[in-house]
Amino acid sequence: MLRPGLILPLLVLLVALAWAVAPGIFTSQSPTETVAPALQAPSAQHWFGTDATGRDLFSRVVYGASESISAALLAVLVGLVFGSLIGVSAGAVGGWIDDVLMRLVEVLLAIPTLLLSLSIVILLGFGTANAAIAVGVTSVAVFARLSRSQVMSVRASEFVEAAYGSGGTFLGVLRRHVLPNSLTPVIALAALQLGSAILQISTLGFLGYGAPPPTPEWGLLIAEGRNYVATAWWLTTLPGLVVVLIVVATNRLSQAISSGGRV
């Protein structure tokens, strides 16, 4: 049963996903065309006001959900697939393979996340997809460590030993018993990483390493308004609040998943 404290975070995420899937339902304004005088304050006609070129800011935030959330999902997918592959291989096989893979993971963990993502983006080139891949690579080590620890814990359980004793093969026991019982914490981490990925991709966009103008990407929207903080506070404040709300909602739901819905 869904606890009352989870209803608001769930609604926030559902709205954000609806923005990403069907932005035209929520706004009739174009996100890239001038529709009103520049730097108009929020009003009934333009809920988030207009930017320095007269574009509707609310429309740009709504359409930016598709860019930012799809990039964050790609980043989580990269981290989840490659990190879990490394962690499961290390935890299931053990021995020198475990040692080599974990040393590689430790190298990734030793590099600051922002520095690593910036380095990868510079190598791959600017753009939302490349920023997502870069952010995904920075989360590989986290997924690898968690999946390894879960696999090793489950592998030492009595029911796994019983499965081997009854004639189970390595791959069969891994597929039927070890992986299903190691999945929940990894899924919770993926939900948590979604919020982190949105934040990191927005950071890269703010620094100019993400989508190029006039793409309505959330980090870029905040960056475009930083020169008008004193005269048009809504340009940075409102897109920033949207990012914060979505990240907090994602973290809240990930905590609920990891604790079995008790928070």
- Amino acid identity, position 209: Y
Q: Domain residue spans in the chain? A: 56-258
Helix (H) or strand (E) holding 203: helix 183-207
State percent of the chain over pLDDT 70.
Answer: 90
pLDDT, tens only, 16-69? 999 999 999 999 888 989 888 999 999 999 999 999 999 999 999 999 999 999
Is it the case that residue 258 has pLDDT exceeding 80?
no
- Amino acid identity, position 129: A
3-state secondary structure of 138: helix
pLDDT, tens only, 114-138? 899 999 999 988 888 999 999 999 9
- Tokens 């509707």: give the residue: 56
pTM of the model: 0.87
Is it the case that residue 151 has pLDDT exceeding 60?
yes
pLDDT, tens only, 177-206? 677 777 778 887 888 888 899 999 999 999
Q: At the top level of CATH, which class does the domain 56-258 belong to?
A: mainly alpha
